[in-house]
């Protein structure tokens, strides 16, 4: 079945997933953020099929997450580098790693860990906080209409509040 | 083409994506974390096909992210609730929203925003920090073998260091 496009869903999560929801996509971003830059290296490191990798690199470039750089001195080899929006996916990858290391590997321990380069110490646990620094849990947060909510979305917020739910 | 399983990739990111990499899956988790709990409500809110929703709910339950609760008084209606690991996906969703609101909606402004329930103020920006609280950017972090890295993974770390890359 063809996947429905998420473009119509007014939600930053849906828009992020529309661009990077595919599992291979985020693993390719992880590789590029770590410094892997050519098609062949990406293929070798990930064990991904050529056509799958080519399609994902096209999507990532079209979405402005990666940029193609042609290196003339380097036998015209194309290298992929992250844009600013690509570099900011580091935070998404770090929270995914934190969750996966805890819930997939648990007490057996994690195979890889993200560290500060200089100190070689693990990064601090990533947490949700309010603007005064207080730690927030699920029950402490909710969604509200943002500055650009459409009338239809505002109506859904209204309706769900009447039904006692937080989901617009 | 059938997707390769990520079970063999020694990486918390890959393991997280193996469980929740599908775009619908994370939007279902978002709905359940916001309090939507029945099949029909999930279908209505997301505009998702019945068979797709049923398949994703089975995967999420099998992965221990959601739990089924049968409510006898409620016409035997099944409700889905998040487990502890499901609740901890809030952080992944929050970083996805932060990225999507910035890079998909940009200056036009976001349709929804995550707020602290009590103060109704937006949550603090989520950032990567070291253990002393210093903000970390991409160039400041790298991956290292974790406590349970296999000999094969250790060799890959060794090789990539020789090649001047951070990617194992």
Q: What is the CATH number of the domain that holds A82?
A: 1.10.10.10
Parallel, antiparallel or unpaired: strands B66-71 and A77-82: unpaired
**Is B62's pLDDT higher than 60?**
yes
pLDDT for A147 equals: 82
Task: Give tens-digit pLDDT for B84-107.
Answer: 999 999 999 999 999 999 999 986
Residue B140 belongs to some domain of the structure: no
- How many domains does the structure of chain B reveal? 1
Residue A81 belongs to some domain of the structure: yes
Residue B72 belongs to some domain of the structure: yes
Residues of B in contact with A148 (CB under 8 A): 105, 108-111
Per the model's pLDDT, the better-predicted residue between A111 and B167 turns out to be A111
Residue A29 belongs to some domain of the structure: yes
Residue A59 belongs to some domain of the structure: yes
Q: Do A115 and B144 touch (CB under 8 A)?
A: yes
Mean pLDDT of the region B156-166: 77
SS3 for chain B, per residue? CCCCCCCCCCCHHHHHHHHHCCHHHHHHHHHHHCCCCEHHHHHHHHCCCHHHHHHHHHHHHHCCCEEEEEEHHHCCEEEEEECHHHHCHHHHHHHHHHHHHHHHHHHHCCCEEEEECCCCCECCCCCCECCCCCECCHHHEEEEECCCCCHHHHHHHHHHHHCCCCCC
Task: Give tens-digit pLDDT for A7-57.
Answer: 788 888 889 888 888 889 999 999 999 889 999 999 988 999 999 999 999
Residue A36 belongs to some domain of the structure: yes
Interfacial B residues in 74-133 facing A (CB < 8 Å): 82, 85, 87-105, 108-124, 126-131, 133
- Confidence class for position A67, pLDDT limits 50, 70, 90: very high
* Partner-chain residue, chosen from A102, A123, A131, that has the shortest CB–CB distance to B129: A123
Q: What percent of chain B has pLDDT over 70?
A: 91
pLDDT for A160 equals: 78
Mean pLDDT of the region B113-136: 96
H/E stretch holding A154 = helix A151-162
* Partner-chain residue, chosen from B11, B113, B141, that has the shortest CB–CB distance to A144: B113
- Confidence class for position B4, pLDDT limits 50, 70, 90: low
Residue A123 belongs to some domain of the structure: no
Helix (DSSP H) and strand (DSSP E) numbers for chain A:
7, 4
Which ipTM was obtained for this model? Answer: 0.91
Q: Chain B residue closest to A139 (CA)?
A: B117
pLDDT for B1 equals: 37
pLDDT for B2 equals: 43
Torsion over CA of A95, A96, A99 and A102, rounded to 10 degrees? -110
d(CA A122, CA A86): 22
Residue B21 belongs to some domain of the structure: yes
Residue B52's domain spans which residues? 12-87
* Cβ of residue A43 closer than 8 Å to a chain B Cβ: no
């Amino acid at each position: 079945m063809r996947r429905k496009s998420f473009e119509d869903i007014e939600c930053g999560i849906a828009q992020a997933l529309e661009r990077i929801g595919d599992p291979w996509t985020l693993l390719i971003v992880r590789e590029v953020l770590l410094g892997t830059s050519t098609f062949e290296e990406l293929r070798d490191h990930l064990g991904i099929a050529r056509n799958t990798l080519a399609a994902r690199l096209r999507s990532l470039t079209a979405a402005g997450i990666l940029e193609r750089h042609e290196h003339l001195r380097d036998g015209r080899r194309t290298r992929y580098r992250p844009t600013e929006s690509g570099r900011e996916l580091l935070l998404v990858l770090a929270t995914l790693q934190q969750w996966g290391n805890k819930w997939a590997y648990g007490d057996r321990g994690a195979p890889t860990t993200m560290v500060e380069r200089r100190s070689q110490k693990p990064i601090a646990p990533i947490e949700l906080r309010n603007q005064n620094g207080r730690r927030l849990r699920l029950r402490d947060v909710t969604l509200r209409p943002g500055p650009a909510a459409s009338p239809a979305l505002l109506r859904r917020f209204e309706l769900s509040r009447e039904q006692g739910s937080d989901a617009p």
